[in-house]
Amino acid sequence: MSDAKVSEGKGRDFLRQIIDRDLKTEKYGSVITRFPPEPNGYLHIGHAKSICINFGIANDYPKAKCHLRMDDSDPAKENYEYVESIKKDVKWLGFDWGDNLFFASDYFEKLYEYAEFLIKKDKAYVCSLCEEEIRKYRGTVTQSGKHSPYRDRPVEENLDLFRRMKAGEFKDGEHVLRAKIDMSSSNMKMRDPLLYRIRHAEHYRQGDKWCIYPLYDFTHGLSDYIEGVTHSICTLEFENNRELYDWILDECEIKEPRPHQYEFARLNVNYNVVSKRKLLDLVENNYVSGWDDPRMPTLSGMRRRGITPEAVRNFCESVGIAKANSIVDMAQFEHYIRDDLNRKVPRALAVLEPLKIIIENYPEKQEEFIKASYYPHDVPVEGSRDIPFSREIFIDRDDFMENPPKGYYRLCPGGEVRLRHAYIIKCEKVIKDPTGEIKELRCTYDPVTKSGADTSGKKIKGTIHWVSANHAENVEVKLYDRLFNVEFPETIEQGFNKDSLKIISNAYVEPAVAGSAPGSRFQFERLGYFYLDPVEYRQSKAVFNRIVTLRDSWSRAAKQELSPEKKLEKEVLQKPSEKVEFDISELATDIRKKFNRYNQDLEIHREEALTIARDENLSSLFEQTIAIYDNPKVIAGFISTEIARKLKEKAPEKFSVSSKDLAELVKLIDKEVISVKIAKEVLASVLKGQGSPAEIVEKQGLKQINDPAELEPVVERVIFNNPENVAEYKSGKTKLFGFFAGQVMKETNGRANPELLNKLLNKKLS
């Protein structure tokens, strides 16, 4: 019996369920996973999820290991710089491979032997077609490929040519080694894929020993086997490669126990690009200062910005392990950054755009030190500092307005505000320079209004931050923002955020910050979280990077910029099933108050507002739900239709749906994880007690397919399997478009994003 036992108390995602099963049946005695990056670029946020999964699984099981393997079979793009950066990033995330660092290039000799073995079995052949001819012979998704004219070369001739390829007798591209599989396969990966190519280039580890190099698909599975990997965990774009992975192991006669490939959804975050090619373009075309530019989605960029590894790990855990790709909102990542920093970094005062204030009734040579805590009361960390206060202080220019609108609570002529941790001041006079620009303010302070000892009885709504002009340290601040201002940039030029970096060279921080060690983090009150950049640290002036703002300023803007399709979906959700005629004056006072609030303040449809206001159960559920998730319109739409209908079917005391579940369900719709139609199915399962909405979506695989890379193969398969309908469609019977859409929806169990589906079908059918 195996002495391995599964972890306890962990969430049982589908990968761990597979591993539990394999250990229980003694398929393997222990677990070995691997993280196999190609050392041709720096790791990014997408890699972080894979690192956390593979190393996380190894940490969960006794005797388990996770290998770090460099899949370095392309000499033209790989080098030691990338190897070292990968190692540094994995360790920064908190994982250690121990003695299990491997390189695919160390297996070149063994891989070559496997290649000869396939040739001798007549399962591989040397093909002399050029690259363009190979592409043409491969066919399309709707048309089978053609056999290469070199496919039937005798085994001995293939062996001779392959050995001469290895000896360096041929030029790049003159010959390739291909697997002999099936040129009519619906899986394009199985149409005699390339296994080896000639490349006269020096390898960063092997030098000029080799001039032929194995391709990734040939290297991957065999490297897993050589290392004893049990569970080869890949992202979904490699799903079609699994058939080839198994074919290579089968034909190389690899016996059990052997590795098996499993796929999970990759981590896609909006307002980002994670293509290595695009990231390299950003660097090489000077959009950013390098791979570790704090705006980059690379792990080195995040580290340089000041993001903590704990925040990255917590974010990856929150995303979960799913089988369907989806887009994660950048705001969710930023939430975990704030959540982690809020509990561990000290508070301090800083002024970015200084405006001088002279407090005229404060003694000229007097100064005092105000005791303030480094941490808020709800953070279990102790520590305080002394903030100097004097006659001259700086405030942020944004905290003063000469002609303020109604409801403005910061400083204005004749107005009063409280200085954070200090006194209430009143603006008496505005001093301007000859150009009319405000030069400084003259104020007075009330000495009995000191924070913690205020005896004035004044109620002041506005509180602003400040620093003492005579004591503050001059620093440089870099305000970093999202690299792109569109959710899904197709090119770098499209949506590149020119305001993603703003440099402020004349900022000031309180003295307690000035002497901090490089790498220190602070929350500058009211401004955000900041990091003392150790790379740009210099004695003359410290440089602080803004890690993240205190609040999400993008979500509200994003809600205002919904696509027409998303707006239509929300309108359908919010549209009442029946029009209800009513006279507001006839409503009871308490119901009328609710109705007015829902209809006027929250802008909910009249019919929906009435339905909810009239029913105590519905209004109570509505109030509790919007307190958890702030989207009253969508919540009202669901409650006034689906919930109200369910209540009619059941007695209220037998009806149970929690505000937490409903809020979670609406959030899944908002984030486009599921469609409205699927949300109704999920609600039905929730009411049956089958779990929370997120659990049901995960268990039943109901996530909406928003990734073209996942949906495109299904579209291609449907088109490939219906050649007659394709021909009729192209002859003018365009109504068949609905047939193809229906078939894709059927294959995806209704999970295909309709907008994306229509776009792909139009593209493929044209």
Residues 622 and 571 placed together within one structural domain of the fold: yes
Query: Which CATH number does the domain housing residue 208 bear?
Result: 3.90.800.10
User: Does residue 518 share a domain with residue 413?
Assistant: yes
Please indicate whether residue 448 or residue 581 has the higher confidence score (pLDDT): 448
Residues 6 or more apart whose CB falls under 8 angstroms from that of 224 comprise 34, 232, 259
Rounded Cα distance, 205 and 208, in Å:
9
Q: Exposed/middle/buried for 106, CB within 10 Å: 0-12, 13-18, 19+?
A: middle
Q: How confident is the model at residue 679 (pLDDT cuts 50, 70, 90)?
A: confident
What does the pLDDT read at residue 222? 98
Q: Tell me, what's the pLDDT at 586?
A: 58
d(CA 451, CA 710): 58
**Structural domain tally of the chain?**
5
pLDDT score of 599 more than 90: no
Q: Known catalytic residue: 21?
A: no
Say what the pLDDT of residue 380 is: 66
The CATH number of residue 744's host domain is 1.10.10.410
Q: Tens digits of per-residue pLDDT, 262-285?
A: 999 989 899 999 888 899 999 999
Same domain, 72 and 132: no
Catalytically annotated residue among 34, 153, 266, 305: 266
User: What secondary structure does DSSP assign to 152-191, as a single string?
Assistant: T--HHHHHHHHHHHHHT-S-TTS-EEEE---TT-SSGGGS
Taking residues 730-751, what's their average pLDDT?
A: 77
458 has pLDDT over 50: yes
Has residue 384 been placed in a domain? yes
Last residue of a domain, one of 178, 195, 215: 215
Catalytic choice (38, 536, 623, 747):
38
Query: Is residue 33 domain-resident?
Result: yes
CA 490 to chain centre: 17
Mean pLDDT of the chain: 88
Q: What is the structure's pLDDT at 578?
A: 37
Q: Are residues 129 and 97 in the same domain?
A: no
In which element (H, E) is residue 22 found?
helix 14-24
What is the number of residues in the chain? 766
In a domain, 146, yes or no: yes
> Residue 667: exposed, middle, or buried by beta-carbon count in 10 A (0-12, 13-18, 19+)?
middle
Told to judge if 623 belongs to the known catalytic residues of this protein, a careful annotator would answer no
Q: What is the mean pLDDT of residues 43-65?
A: 96
Mean pLDDT of the region 3-20:
67
484 part of a folded domain: no
- Evaluate whether 409 touches 373 at the Cβ level (below 8 Å): no
Query: CA-CA distance, 194 to 199, in Å (whole number)?
Result: 14
Indicate whether 592 and 628 sit together in one domain. yes
Q: Which two tokens stand for residue 722?
A: 């219906």
Q: Would residue 150 count as lying in a domain?
A: yes
359 has pLDDT over 90: yes
Please tell me which residue in 87, 146, 276, 677 is annotated as part of the active site.
276
Same domain flag for 719 and 739: yes
Query: Under 8 Å CB-to-CB from 605, ≥6 apart: which residues?
Result: 574, 575, 576, 599, 636, 637
Is 339 a member of any domain? no
pLDDT at site 480 = 96
**Cβ contact 212:198 at 8 Å:** yes
Max Cα-Cα span within the chain: 101
In a domain, residue 352? The reply is yes
pLDDT tens-place string over residues 305-353 = 999 999 999 999 988 898 877 788 899 999 999 999 998 999 999 999 9
Has this prediction a pTM greater than 0.75? no
Q: Return the closest-CA partner of residue 707 out of 717, 715, 697, 696.
A: 715
Short-list 44, 33, 50, CA closest to 100: 33
Q: Residue 591: which domain range? A: 562-700
Are 296 and 288 in contact by the 8 Å Cβ rule? The answer is yes
Q: Which of 82-96, 289-303, 508-522 has the lowest mean pLDDT?
A: 508-522
The answer to whether 226 touches 110, Cβ cutoff 8 Å, is: yes
Residue 323 is among the residues annotated as catalytic for this protein = no
Calculate the CA 263 to chain-centre distance: 18
Most confidently predicted of 260-274, 318-332, 630-644, 699-713: 260-274
Residue with token string 């925040």: 311
Check pLDDT > 70 for residue 569.
Answer: no
Confidence class of residue 581 from pLDDT cuts 50, 70 and 90? very low
192 and 225 together in one domain? no
Among 668, 700, 732, the domain boundary falls at 700
618 and 726 both lie in a single domain:
no
Q: Which two tokens stand for residue 113?
A: 């032997």
Given a contact cutoff of 8 angstroms between Cβ atoms, the answer to whether 424 and 449 are in contact is: yes
Is residue 735 situated within a structural domain? yes
Average pLDDT over residues 719-741: 78
193 & 206 share domain: yes
> 728 and 656 in one domain?
no
**25 and 152 part of one domain:** no
Arithmetic mean of pLDDT, 274-297: 93
Say if residue 676 is in the same domain as residue 630: yes
